[in-house]
Structure 1
Amino acid sequence: MYPALEDCRLCPRACGVNRLAGEKGFCRAGAQPRVALATLHQWEEPCLSGSRGSGAVFFSHCNMRCAFCQNYRISWQGRGREMTAADLAATFLDLQQQGAHNINLVSATPYTPLVAPALRQARNKGLKIPVVYNCNAYESLDSLRSLEGLVDIYLPDLKYADEEPARRYSQTPGYFAAATAAVLEMQRQVGVLTLDTNGLARRGLLIRHLVLPGQVEGACRVLAWVRANLPRETFLSIMAQYVPIWRAEGFPEINRCLTPGEYEQVLDYFDSLGLENGYCQEMEAAAEAYIPSF
């Protein structure tokens, strides 16, 4: 039914495993979507969470292995339950009924051929709120093109500009080339982020970057790429919420929180580039970001 799963190349790793036959690639995802949590989420950017929350659907497994992953229980360990396309569609509609401002697909990368029909079913049954594709930017162009017309808002976390930290901290070779190509495809599909009269996101691209300890220069290179390759009106969210959890203790240089001075350097560079739209965080966000309930 889903031939893409017989020779899985849904992300740049292109493992080529037959997931329909039970084979597991790098991400360990199976032949059905696995979901850990679906909830109204209040801790996204203001244009997404609004007053009632973003309808976040947290998918299990991930095509990266970030040593500092805040959701490692679902991304690394795969906690969650399998759902059919009909189950997913019902979940989206339930979140809309609860008052969600949008449907927020968190780490759905391993499941794009399975999520797309669920979105179509939900729209046929009355889903009207925007759909957000919340990802690590390590995406294949073919997968993204299969989502055109189904996703209203792309929310990639453009994590690294340099090969060494991408390999060292996330086991992800070739990250920047793949991720920047993916971001350009997202921009082509949805354009610059637009907000309604209530300040809520309706359509467009919002790029995140989580600043890591000791990685100020890399963060600035990410911002420089955005300025050189995307409209200056592009929205960015520069995050300070890094927490040294999970396996971060194995990397002494990131086994600490970000300092205010490091974060301010990145924000100052953002201003110097002439970028016009952005979100930043209070340093206390690091304490609030860790949700240990997964």
Structure 2
Amino acid sequence: MSLPHHCRLCPRACGADRAAGQTGYCGADDRLMVARAALHHWEEPCLSGAPDDTRGSGTVFFSGCALRCCYCQNYPISQEGVGKAITVERLAEIFLRLQRDGARNINLVTATQYLPQVRRALDLARADGLVLPIVYNTGGYETVAAVKALTGYVDIWLTDFKYADPALADRLSAAPDYPAVAEAALRQMLLQTGAPVYDKEGFLQRGVIVRHLALPGCVQDSRAVLATLAHLQQETGIPFVPSLMSQFTPFYKAAEHGLGRRITTYEYRQVIDEAIRLGLTDGYMQEKSSAREEYTPPFDLEGV
């Protein structure tokens, strides 16, 4: 699998000649760009352990993004180009170094724009002894073809399901097709990966975690997202790990798009109550006002 001359790696299908160095909608060209590679302690506990866990998740943050949400907390790398160009061989070395450092898994954050290079790097690293579970950390805006292309590479999908309303998805992420795309991708993730499997310490080895970030003023959409997730779980018969998040902070251009505040306790309580009503309780519900600086690490090229 090589970089495409007519890129359709993501649902934008922008057609950029990536192989010739043309920049796609996601901001990526023919270079492999990484902004940070280090142990991270603020994922779900089944991935990174308790906050005082000395090991954590071996997280690699890639530059660029196909969604480019107006409120992205990682906007310096998703939309402003922060990162360093590295080789596929260097990426494989990074995976192995994180394993030596004690990482519980390798966590690839927003990697689809580099899908061909990531697959090659994983092949190289596995040939040299990489045995950790591979986590694919995504905003959920994935083609079914991309999910299928990661068969045999990804053990754990850590995916968002951001919106149920196409109009809201259009306003905040310029992606009115997000709900349909994310649902199709999630269905494929579940079919491909199966029910959650944990090791004896309670760390996830295989399965799907579905995150939903509750947004201020969007309780109705959150309820609709949860209804979609409950229906999908019932339809497939494959359980996943739900993860409700309250950490929204008005980063980047959020205020310009009507998201100039954090959610209220009352709003978040309504979302939690709906998840409980629908039986989406075998997972995580973030505490209200739990946003912390550690959730957004410094993108200072550490480990790259």
* Equivalent position of 1:256 in the other structure: 261
Match among 240, 247, 256 for residue 234 of structure 1:
240
Q: Is the 8 A contact 2:134 2:153 kept in 1?
A: yes
Question: Structure 1: any 5+ residue segments left out of the alignment?
Answer: none
Q: Shift of the alpha carbon at 1:216?
A: 0.9
* Equivalent position of 1:21 in the other structure: 20
* Equivalent position of 2:218 in the other structure: 215
Equivalenced residue count is 292
* Aligned ranges 1:25-104 → 2 under 5 Å: 25-50=24-49, 51=53, 52-104=55-107
2:292 corresponds to 1:287? yes
**CA 1:47–1:119 in structure 2 vs 1: closer, same or farther (change >3 Å)?**
same
Post-superposition Cα deviations, 1:40-68, rounded to whole Å, max 9, x if no partner, equal 00000000002211000000000012111
TM-score (norm 1): 0.96
Runs of 4+ with deviation above 6 angstroms: none
Q: Shift of the alpha carbon at 1:232?
A: 7.0
2:252 corresponds to 1:246? yes
* Equivalent position of 1:145 in the other structure: 148
Q: Distance in 1 between matches of 2:264 and 2:111?
A: 31
Match among 266, 271, 290 for residue 266 of structure 1:
271
2:135 corresponds to 1:162? no
3-state secondary structure, aligned to 1:90: helix
Match among 166, 171, 175 for residue 174 of structure 2:
171
2:133 corresponds to 1:130? yes
Q: Shift of the alpha carbon at 1:284?
A: 3.1
Q: Distance in 2 between matches of 1:187 and 1:232?
A: 6
Q: Distance in 2 between matches of 1:188 and 1:84?
A: 32
**CA 1:217–1:42 in structure 2 vs 1: closer, same or farther (change >3 Å)?**
same
Identity among equivalent positions (%) equals 48
Question: Structure 2: any 5+ residue segments left out of the alignment?
Answer: 300-304
